[in-house]
Structure 1
Amino acid sequence: MIKKVVLLICIVVTMGACSPKAEVGEEADVIIYGGTAAAVIAAVQVKKSGKSVIVVSPDKHLGGLSSGGLGFTDTGNKGVIGGLARDFYHRIYMKYQDSTAWQWQKQAEYGNKGQGTPAMDGDARTMWIFEPHVAEEVFEDYVKAFDLDIRRDTWLNREDGVEKEDGRIVSIKTADGKVFRGKMFIDATYEGDLMAAAGISYIVGREANSQYDEKWNGIQTGVLHHDHYFKSNISPYKIPGDSTSGLLYGVSGDDPGKYGEADKRVQAYCFRMCLSNHPENRVPFPKPENYNPDNYELLARVFASGWHETFRKFDPIPNRKTDTNNHGPFSTDFIGMNYDYPDGSYEERKEIIKAHEDYQKGLLYFLANDPRVPEAVRKEMAQWGLAKDEFTDNGNWPHQIYVREARRMIGDYVMTEHDVFGEREIKNPVGMGSYALDSHNTQRYVKPDGFVQNEGDIGVSPKKGPYQIAYGALVPKKEACENVLVPVCISSSHTAFGSIRMEPVFMILGQSAALAAVRAIDQGLSVQDVPYTDLKKDLLKEQQVLENPAQKTSI
């Protein structure tokens, strides 16, 4: 009889372990989804505040673009970069104080060039220009120093992986069946996947100028900023001047739309490539398996028109390397080939990313080898290659594509160009931005005169210097969800996001989101109801900059 009772108990216990109620998952005060710089910084702040945190990262490598090739930092006014963001750049500075960091170049030989500022600021003990692997080392240092719980290569189940009760997220489930429960959640992805899966409203593309009474939103046909447009009349047809011969690769035959109207197009993506011209640290550009030189005929015509700016954005970073960005009318931006990325499935995104990789690798091979490229350019390109000591587990290719913009939340407050221009009062700032409105091209089309042109590139500086970013832009509307914050895909118009979308700003907002999450937990409130007077004290204690500082070159 005793044996039967024991057996029955064992059966009940076993059945209970397999029941849905037993799938409680792992718990933490705050669950962060994402592997970006904002995600790591947010996790550090949660731990500093005495709360538990789990970072569920779809990425194996931490840091997003900050460790993925964007080493020539878009700083804007450095005086508004405070808190843990500034600590990150201080840690970069300290890495380069070690002589062993200068393997391929003497520190004295480095030009110390940044975006309108010295790369290495000795007075402030910060460094704003760096190699990808050094940035990743800093993020991993944070992991070790704060004992962060990181679940790498762990992807959200976007179909039914978000459990909500009474307007709050209870748990998230990943594609491999893991469950993570928390009191607060932070979506720190470039794509806004947690936000979208939680049923929070968002937008993809450009609003009409009329929606928020803006000037630089919507379709921008005829507006030509920077140098990312065709300055000469170049035919888009396979046989120049013959519209019946078909369009060249990369040129759209669709109507571009009317100026100022809304559309669903997304500004172009690319990889921020780390190149080297050191003979011992250079991997020659290989010929891609699917290489088609005809895909670059439009660039050949740009060269034939007299364009000579091939190497203008080979921005120098330490150790004879570059952060190579898009520049000119035909470059690394794969214009018009990412529209389906924001809402695409994981598999669809993977295909888009691969297409971008093939395009850029083919571009490099074309520049180094094709006879249509001027001999001087081919000779110079032959001196360059992929940096051998970067992205060593990915064929020296960046592990992060530059998702300049994907989804944008429609939240409690929508940042617009009026905020960037200082035309509206922000009553609850949680950080500051300072960069220009900066959108890359969204389409390449045929003008009525039969020539090719790009559209969507915008570059307009804030009129009154640095501007405040509202707390309401980090939180959804209360009826949508009460316990999630979104510091990357924030509530913003397309044109305002063009300024906000800089890596230092994402770090700033990641830290502020974490402080708000902790405050909401401590006071038992929704994120929308966190008293700003209390949050402001927390922000200032952590050295966030909330007001426009005096303009000092030493900052």
Structure 2
Amino acid sequence: MAHKKKFLDLTFILVIAGLMALTGCKDSKEKSNMGATADIIIYGGTSAAISAAVEAKRSGKSVIVVSPDIHLGGLSSGGLGFTDTGDKSVIGGLAREFYHRVWQHYNTEEAWIWQKKEEYGNKGQGTPAMDGENRTMWIFEPHVAEQVFEDLISEEGIRVDRDEWLDRENGVKMKDGKIISITTLSGNTYSGKMFLDATYEGDLMASAGVRYHVGREGKEVYGEEWNGVQTGVLHHKHWFQADISPYVVPGDPSSGLLPRVSGEHPGERHSGDDKIQAYCFRMCMSNYPENRIPFPKPEDYDPMNYELLARSFESGRKDWFEKFDPIPNHKTDTNNHGPLSSDNIGMNYDYPEATYERRKEIIKEHENYQKGLLWFVANDPRVPEDIQSEMQSWGLAKDEFVDNDNWPHQIYVREARRMIGEFVMTENELLKKSPTPNPIGLGSYTMDSHNVQRYVKPDGFVQNEGDIGVSTNGPYTISYGSLVPKKEDCENLLVPVCVSSSHIAFGSIRMEPVFMILGQSAAAAAVLAIDGDTTVQEVDYNTLKRVLVAKGQIVE
């Protein structure tokens, strides 16, 4: 009964919070007008966007966040609660404040609704999830992260206009190499002195005419070992370890290929292509009966989409549950694991440049694929009994994503456009083979690319390609030049998410704590550019460094 009461109380709180959020959206829209102006305009609702907005406001500048998203925080509040951090000692500034606020939340009895605090295993990546010594918590539930972002926005009195989508065709007004204003599809126009593109897609950057790249560069472009096509490289467990036929009738090419298997040649080793690593949703699941919803069966469910998984199970593969990473209150951050899992390999290639309508189709297709995958493992008779029985004890968390049928609001855009800016970060800087000029933050996570394609090997069996995991051998610095376009492209834009980076270097940089770090550093630079009446390319680095260090940012 106590748990039931707690659940009802929580449901009431979530409903009220949802109504407040919707009311907030309405109020924000009412404030919008054809001439909204601020010192700094931030496009995006990601963790980088919020960090940038807080930094700008605390530095005394007016700021408006123009967010296509209703829910703030991107992947940090969208299911990625088992944070990929690397070396946590190099996470400073507002990023560390975020994880400290998460720690403060879980340091209260009220946070532990479905589980006692002392029963939580406290598993983290490299350190305990709840690190009392450093007063940080790196593992969290999605709604907790979202509330932290909302608290930061509320406390600083930052204006956020939600559900505002950039008019990508005609919405960016330029003059003398600078963005003057941006206009959204609703007709609202936002004018500013400085602009930040903090989206996962880089739409503002692209619409402003800034150069960028999509796909993998060939080895020769930047002299990298781990870029381009990587056939035969099998770094993780996300590949077929047994000889499995890709054909509808095993061993019979005339029967046709199974779904999601490419019949094209994968490309020569180290050659470049226009393909990108797979997307998925980071699912928040629960095995606590009072907070569990059985996996829904999608309308277009087709078990053939998962035939390769069935064949993998038949070969003896038993590691299905390895990435059900625990987060508080009997929940998981469930990620891709194995040869056929939540990564929807090969189905996202056109996403970075696609229209909004086409992106919605891609996102929906990914959702249906992933829901079908869950249904398949929980119900199909070809799944081993021990795996299936355990899978049936899991479901979607009832108290997460309550306005979206308990499904994450944000798809994991692991990579889309990447700017070609003043300085391009490559594996050579991450591996410390080449120096990094003017550092404004650090990363440390493994250079990590998920699979890019599923193809047929010359021997007639199926295999995945593109999954790479290479250690950076400790932290590395990230250049200020990777946040700014070439001067001839744009003089008042900073890009803290779709940074100037090669494919494989971005595989490490793309972590949420790093995006928060880069968001804060980009906003600090924007403030200095305004105060100095200069371009983002001409911001004095030594001054920027002093400002960042004074605010707790770790830059070297």
Displacement of 1:472:
0.2
Query: SS at 1:159's partner residue?
Result: coil
Which of the residues 475, 478, 489 maps onto 1:466? 475
CA distance in 2, matches of 1:224, 1:209: 18
Displacement of 1:343:
0.2
CA distance in 1, matches of 2:43, 2:431: 32
Output aligned runs, 1:489-500, within 5 Å. 489-500=498-509
Query: SS at 1:520's partner residue?
Result: helix
Which of the residues 515, 524, 545 maps onto 1:515? 524
| TM-score between both structures, scaled by the size of structure 2 | 0.94
Which of the residues 481, 489, 493 maps onto 1:484? 493
Q: Which residue matches 1:194?
A: 204
Q: Which residue matches 1:3?
A: none
Q: Which residue matches 2:550?
A: 541
Within the alignment, does 1:184 sit opposite 2:194 as a pair?
A: yes
Structure 2 counterpart of 1:218, one-letter code: G
Which of the residues 115, 122, 125 maps onto 1:115? 125
Q: Which residue matches 2:175?
A: 165
Output aligned runs, 1:60-459, within 5 Å. 60-459=70-469
* Percent identical residues: 69
Q: Deviations over 1:385-427 (max 9, x none)?
A: 0000000000000000000000000000000000100112223
Greater shift in the superposed pair: 538-547 or 486-495 = 538-547
Q: Deviations over 1:424-479 (max 9, x none)?
A: 2223000000001000000000000000000000000013x100000000000000
| TM-score between both structures, scaled by the size of structure 1 | 0.94
Query: SS at 1:238's partner residue?
Result: strand
Structure 2 counterpart of 1:380, one-letter code: E
Q: Deviations over 1:194-237 (max 9, x none)?
A: 00000000000000011101000000011111101111100000
Residue pair 2:143, 2:401 contacting (<8 A) in 1 also: yes
Structure 2 counterpart of 1:411, one-letter code: G
Q: Deviations over 1:141-192 (max 9, x none)?
A: 0011100100001000000100000000000000111000000000000000
CA distance in 2, matches of 1:239, 1:416: 43
Q: Which runs of 5+ in 2 are unaligned?
A: 1-32
Structure 2 counterpart of 1:291, one-letter code: Y
Residue pair 2:34, 2:188 contacting (<8 A) in 1 also: no
Query: SS at 1:184's partner residue?
Result: strand
Q: Deviations over 1:321-372 (max 9, x none)?
A: 0000000011000000000000000000000000000000000000000000
CA distance in 2, matches of 1:392, 1:368: 23
Query: SS at 2:259's partner residue?
Result: coil
Residue pair 2:197, 2:203 contacting (<8 A) in 1 also: yes
Query: SS at 2:45's partner residue?
Result: coil
Q: Which residue matches 1:553?
A: none
Residue pair 2:284, 2:333 contacting (<8 A) in 1 also: yes
Within the alignment, does 1:39 sit opposite 2:49 as a pair?
A: yes
CA distance in 2, matches of 1:24, 1:59: 20
CA distance in 1, matches of 2:297, 2:150: 34
CA distance in 2, matches of 1:302, 1:539: 50
CA distance in 2, matches of 1:427, 1:404: 26
Displacement of 1:24:
6.0
CA distance in 1, matches of 2:269, 2:203: 31
Q: Which residue matches 1:505?
A: 514
CA distance in 2, matches of 1:491, 1:155: 23
Structure 1 counterpart of 2:74, one-letter code: G
Q: Deviations over 1:275-296 (max 9, x none)?
A: 0000000000121111111111
Query: SS at 2:367's partner residue?
Result: helix
Q: Which residue matches 1:15?
A: none
Greater CA radius of gyration, 1 or 2? 1
**Superposition misfits of 4+ residues, deviation over 3 angstroms:** none
CA distance in 2, matches of 1:111, 1:24: 52
Query: SS at 1:377's partner residue?
Result: helix
Structure 1 counterpart of 2:194, one-letter code: M
CA distance in 2, matches of 1:479, 1:432: 27
CA distance in 2, matches of 1:149, 1:175: 19
Query: SS at 1:27's partner residue?
Result: strand
CA distance in 1, matches of 2:538, 2:307: 56
Query: SS at 2:531's partner residue?
Result: helix
CA distance in 2, matches of 1:300, 1:189: 37
Query: SS at 2:448's partner residue?
Result: strand
Query: SS at 1:234's partner residue?
Result: coil
CA distance in 2, matches of 1:25, 1:227: 53
Q: Deviations over 1:119-159 (max 9, x none)?
A: 00001100000000000010010011100100001000000
